Structure 1
Amino acid sequence: MASLSSLRSINKMSRFLFSKSLTHSKLRKLWLSTLSSLVGEKNLILMGPPGSGKTSVGRVLGQKLGCPVIDVDDDVLEKTWNTSVSDKLQDVGDEQFLEEEGKAFLKFSASGSVISLTGSNPLHPSSMEHTKKNGIVVYLDVHSQDIIERLERMKVDRIVGQRSGTSIGDILKKRKRFYKKWHDVRVLCQTGDCVEVVADKVIDAVKRYQHAESETFVSTRCQEPNEKQSKFFSDVVIEGLAGDGGLYVPRSGLPKLTAGEWRRLVDLLYVERAQIILERCIHPDDVPPVVLGEILEKAYGDNFSCNKIAPVRHLSGNQFILELFHGPTASFKDLALQFMPHIFAYCIPKVCNNLVLVATSGDTGSAVLDGFSRLSDLDKRRIAVFCLYPENGISQVQKSQIIACQGDNGLAVGVETDFDFCQKAIKEMFTNPEFTGYLTAEYGTSLSTANSINWARLLPQIVYHASAYLDLVDQGFLTFGSPVDVCIPTGNFGNIMAALYAKQMGIPIRKFICASNQNHILTDFIKSGLYDLRGRKLLPSFSPAIDILKSSNLERYLHMIANQDERLVNKLYSQLDSQGYFQLPESVLRLLQQDLIGDWCSETDCVSAIRAVYDATGYILDTHTAVAKVVADRVQDRTCPVIISCTAHYSKFAPVILQALRVEEIKQNPLTQLHVLNSFHPLPPAHKSLLGMLKDSHHHKSHMCPADSSHVMALVENYLQSLFLKVQ
């Protein structure tokens, strides 16, 4: 089976040969020939509901591209049947109409044309497979209310399902899944878009579809970025960390949606928002929209306890809580790690084994292990997870949960050290060519990572920050375009980096409030521009997920605000590795301080905040969210709403929560602690998946090792021996 890179080479060569074969086609004006190369001998197929403008847009595209236009209703069906579509539907009824429509379309063939489908063509699978073989299917995604109003004005009465008494709204809702299944390209149409504007959007979208090389990634440390060093999305998902030790970022930044396009997403479900946003960020050459849609349905389905996935709750005053704990492992990591394993399994070559290495300061471990355990049985036979966590640096509930999440393809090891060692050990394995080469040669195994250094882990986090803003618009707290601040408890800078990317895509976030605990290296850095690890020791805290001194994703942010100056980033991080510190240039620090505010919260203030919020509202914050609440109260100016990221369910930190609620005698058993918490009848209620995992943890074995890199590497090899046979 060909590798992904060789398939790309073949694809590029075939495109080249195909374009050469068109050189001697009949001459057109230069502008026409330039546009017509979009089509060549392929068809441009317009798909969408009745009233979406397929016929009108098709005619304009035909003029712009200088190619034939075929309307399936008029030029195929009515000529085949010798009767109008309306009369045919009246005569035979819905089911027979769909069957005869499909048969007629199966006999039809064309090339180099713009084809406007009927609204019901996508309901017939074999005819759509037939037409996709020689065409690019463009979905004209028009708001349902706009469609309904257009159809009422036009008095349309020839829609399949209409005469059974089903409302147009229900018909459109049912058909959406068929349009999602078949499209190659989506054009998000806004209210008021004229036909010319939509046609131009189609041309832009098809240009993007045909030029995958325009959406590549580079390392934050690559000092001479060129085409050879550029990577495609699939490559960066597989590799995780760049070979030079840097992090992958999009060469041209992320796409920006217009205000009108964002408004189109306001009344959509989370999964629908996610698909539209991620379709813009992932080229269809890497992950086709139909595959992306299937993955999103798996990622954000019954495994989440709330159908809103990441709901926003008003706390008090101008403060809102973004609840990110409704996934199976009760933390915000689920929003990425129920998605990423399926993307990873799709992108990697099928002929090779993969070991996902991950370091966790608490929540990531269980989320990675759970997410990869949900892969198909076939994928689990070639993809496994090896997780390191600080043995005494996470809560008892988190540890029990990590142990419980070990499955057929997952192993967790507690290390007698802190998180920074775990993260360093993972990076050392990645950047050790002898070790990686040995694993490839002996076990046919490649290494990757699911930490937020992997782009596929960070990317889906952008969605929930955007979705939170859209929810406030939908609930009437904002009009689109009004600013918000976000306050995020962070140690590794990944969650706040995703919010910064949401702003880059067009969400009007004003300030990013970075909330730290007593390990406040990020707060100090934001205020001074000095990142200083010298003599600094990690202090265990009530909020262990942000007990981090070396913030990986900060590197992506510095690369962004330094205008992609890879040489500067390389210089800064080389100095950090060799001398333990770096100082930002003054010009870059000024840019950073335009975005970021930083402050920190003591352990005492954290506990006091949990108690105060519960007394005032009945809502229980987890320890990390309490840190963010304290910092938001201290630094936010209250001139606009602030969204506080609630990154975990409070049950994970039960002893501290019980202390805050002034429970005098706290039992050691985690399950007992959770039952006591539930007796307070709190908001939010108990997390059922978490309770189930804790009950199951005693069935799984725990593993420990010393803080020694060579010992960790030996454990990795032993684990591979138990999973994959040696290459003969």
Structure 2
Amino acid sequence: MMKEILYKSTRSTEGTLKASEAILKGLADDGGLFVPLEIPALDVTVEELSKMTYQQVAYEVMKLYFTDFTEEELKNCINNAYDSKFDTEEIAPLAEVEGTYFLELFHGKTIAFKDMALSILPHLLTTSAKKNGVKNEIVILTATSGDTGKAAMAGFADVPGTRIIVFYPNGGVSPIQEKQMVTQKGDNTYVVAIEGNFDQAQSAVKAIFGDKELAKEMDEKGFQFSSANSINIGRLIPQVAYYVYAYAKLFAEGKVSKDQKINVVVPTGNFGNILAAYYAKNMGLPIDKLICASNENRVLYDFFTTGEYDKNREFILTNSPSMDILISSNLERLIYRIAGDDAEANKKMMEELSKDGKYSITPEMKAKLADFYGNYASEEETAAIIKKIYEETGYVMDTHTAVAASVYEKYKKETKDDNVTVIASTASPFKFTRSVMNAIDPKYDSMGDFELVDELSKIGNVKVPNAIEEIRNAEIRHNNLCEVAGMKDIVKKFLGM
């Protein structure tokens, strides 16, 4: 009999929830994030995993966390998620480039890694609602730095019993990202640009979630909020699966022997993607170093270096906009864990963060971060590595993946560590064509966005993804702009309240 895994808030000592209840709620009432009471150990061997498809590996991982789902329910969610929406049969192929393995997480409907979790979340949520007898319509409320929004809308578009509202920073996403969002179909979708940055959007969304009066009013009208951001445990756990799959694949191809340790490099802003790798490691996957790559908004690099998290700094708009984040929401799950699952200690630090914009961890906590290595790449370094790898190998990577590749070069130079290494490749270069093409050769700057797409396809010898073809001539369906202070009113308006 498999062990039941329950969830609790990172900010409270009381109360536990089943997986389906935690997925439905998204964010805990006290503002904390849901964490499993323990991280379960993988119960299949790497030999067994190496013979499995992506869907089968995903089941082996998720069944350990989502213990109140039946086998049929969970397999149903997985098979509905990882199907022909992905443009490769493997779902997450590994590309070997100069001896390093790029785990391509961008073959889904919106060509970014968010699809890996957001294609399954709607199914997990609607299944959870049924299991818990929820009659209300589920309203997904989310802030995006470019990718989550589109991936969530693509996942939830026209899913019965759900509506989705996405806020993004006006001028703070790439032209292709914006076009993907504002052309989104589905009668239950709503997209709004805000006059502010991602952190302001994310903080306002959290405040709307915590608004008790609004929750009561919504309940009377037959609605309840849930979240598609990486704060939802139903989004984090599916991400654990692709690290397990990558290892199994390396083993199947004879690139690693049994129990041989690998390093994982993850470009991260909100800390969810690298936290998933940390969970995989704690499940027994042989990962040695977790290499955390930041862009010029180097708040995580500074945290790993000094033990102080300090968001009081200038917010920099970079060419890797999905990482332009100063409040890494998911870091709270790691802080809770290295504090020895101490909700009080964690809560105190999160209060300091919201009051003073910073907190410091103790030397004992810092000692528990030995698994992590943090560094960052400047805009120039990011562009330089795109050009270098393209010229040497013909492989074209996006700006976020390039941040990771650049940090990995620094890590190797500093440590001489030659472990087999997997780099999480988090977006297709077609999503950031202008930045990518300019890095390869400034002459491309005079071209239009879609001309660049065709040129990238030609020089990289890769087919233009459907996600881009679809928006080439798509009509703009969403043309909304609001101040941060007006976000709550916009939500009420969309729900007809």
TM-score bracket for this pair, using the shorter chain length: over 0.9
Q: How does 1:481-496 map to 2 (within 5 A)?
A: 481-496=259-274
Amino acid at match of 1:658: M
Q: By how many angstroms is 1:268 displaced?
A: 0.7
Which ranges of 4 or more aligned residues in structure 1 deviate by more than 2 Å?
260-263, 636-639, 665-670, 695-699
Conserved 8 A contact 1:330-1:687: no
Conserved 8 A contact 1:406-1:412: no
Conserved 8 A contact 2:169-2:197: yes
What corresponds to 1:471 in structure 2? Answer: 249
CA RMSD of aligned residues (A): 1.4
Match of 1:716 among 486, 491, 497: 491
Match of 2:26 among 217, 232, 240: 240
What corresponds to 1:412 in structure 2? Answer: 191
Cα distance in 2 for partners of 1:475, 1:452 equals: 31
Q: By how many angstroms is 1:330 displaced?
A: 0.1
2:297 is paired with a residue whose SS is coil
Cα distance in 2 for partners of 1:281, 1:216 equals: 8
- Deviation string 1:636-655 (CA, Å, 9 cap, x unpaired) is 33321111110000011111
Amino acid at match of 1:706: E
Conserved 8 A contact 2:457-2:464: no
- Deviation string 1:100-141 (CA, Å, 9 cap, x unpaired) is xxxxxxxxxxxxxxxxxxxxxxxxxxxxxxxxxxxxxxxxxx
Conserved 8 A contact 1:404-1:693: no
- Deviation string 1:695-720 (CA, Å, 9 cap, x unpaired) is 25324232111222xx1111101100
Match of 2:151 among 351, 367, 372: 367
Cα distance in 1 for partners of 2:446, 2:203 equals: 35
Q: How does 1:91-106 map to 2 (within 5 A)?
A: none
Q: Structure 1 stretch 659-668 or stretch 575-584: which is displaced more? A: 659-668
Match of 1:337 among 88, 95, 118: 118
Amino acid at match of 2:331: L
What corresponds to 1:189 in structure 2? Answer: none
What corresponds to 1:622 in structure 2? Answer: 398
1:680 is paired with a residue whose SS is helix
What corresponds to 2:7 in structure 1? Answer: 217
What corresponds to 1:12 in structure 2? Answer: none
Query: If the length of structure 2 is used for normalisation, what is the TM-score?
Result: 0.96
Q: By how many angstroms is 1:667 displaced?
A: 4.6
Higher relative contact order by CA 8 Å / sep ≥ 6: 1 or 2?
A: 2
What corresponds to 1:256 in structure 2? Answer: 41
Q: By how many angstroms is 1:374 displaced?
A: 6.0
What corresponds to 1:8 in structure 2? Answer: none
2:265 is paired with a residue whose SS is strand
What corresponds to 2:454 in structure 1? Answer: 675
2:495 is paired with a residue whose SS is helix
Query: Are residues 282 and 304 of structure 1, via their aligned partners in 2, closer, same or farther at CA, if it must alter by over 3 Å?
Result: same
Cα distance in 2 for partners of 1:656, 1:234 equals: 41
2:304 corresponds to 1:518? no
Match of 2:323 among 540, 546, 566: 546
Cα distance in 2 for partners of 1:695, 1:273 equals: 35
Cα distance in 2 for partners of 1:681, 1:625 equals: 16
What corresponds to 2:77 in structure 1? Answer: 295
Match of 1:586 among 359, 363, 377: 363
Conserved 8 A contact 1:359-1:419: yes
Conserved 8 A contact 1:401-1:697: no
- Deviation string 1:334-353 (CA, Å, 9 cap, x unpaired) is 00000010110111145211
Q: How does 1:148-227 map to 2 (within 5 A)?
A: 204-205=1-2, 208=3, 214-222=4-12, 224-225=13-14
What corresponds to 1:608 in structure 2? Answer: 384
Q: By how many angstroms is 1:503 displaced?
A: 0.8
- Deviation string 1:605-651 (CA, Å, 9 cap, x unpaired) is 11110000000110001000100000001113332111111000001
Conserved 8 A contact 2:444-2:452: no
Cα distance in 1 for partners of 2:156, 2:473 equals: 18
State which structure, 1 or 2, has the greater radius of gyration over its C-alpha atoms. Answer: 1
- Deviation string 1:465-519 (CA, Å, 9 cap, x unpaired) is 1111111101110012000000000010000000001111111100100000000
2:172 corresponds to 1:386? no
Match of 1:564 among 331, 341, 351: 341
1:344 is paired with a residue whose SS is helix
- Gapped runs of 5+ residues in structure 1? 1-203, 209-213
- Deviation string 1:342-400 (CA, Å, 9 cap, x unpaired) is 1101111452111100110011111000001263xxx2xx2100000001111000000
Conserved 8 A contact 1:651-1:686: no
- Gapped runs of 5+ residues in structure 2? none
Cα distance in 2 for partners of 1:388, 1:396 equals: 16
Conserved 8 A contact 2:396-2:460: no
Cα distance in 1 for partners of 2:17, 2:35 equals: 10
1:496 is paired with a residue whose SS is helix
Q: By how many angstroms is 1:241 displaced?
A: 0.4
Q: By how many angstroms is 1:687 displaced?
A: 3.9
Amino acid at match of 1:339: I
Amino acid at match of 2:383: V
Query: If the length of structure 1 is used for normalisation, what is the TM-score?
Result: 0.66
2:32 corresponds to 1:274? no
Match of 1:528 among 302, 306, 319: 306
2:221 corresponds to 1:446? no
Aligned pair count reads 491
Conserved 8 A contact 2:454-2:464: no
Conserved 8 A contact 2:263-2:420: yes
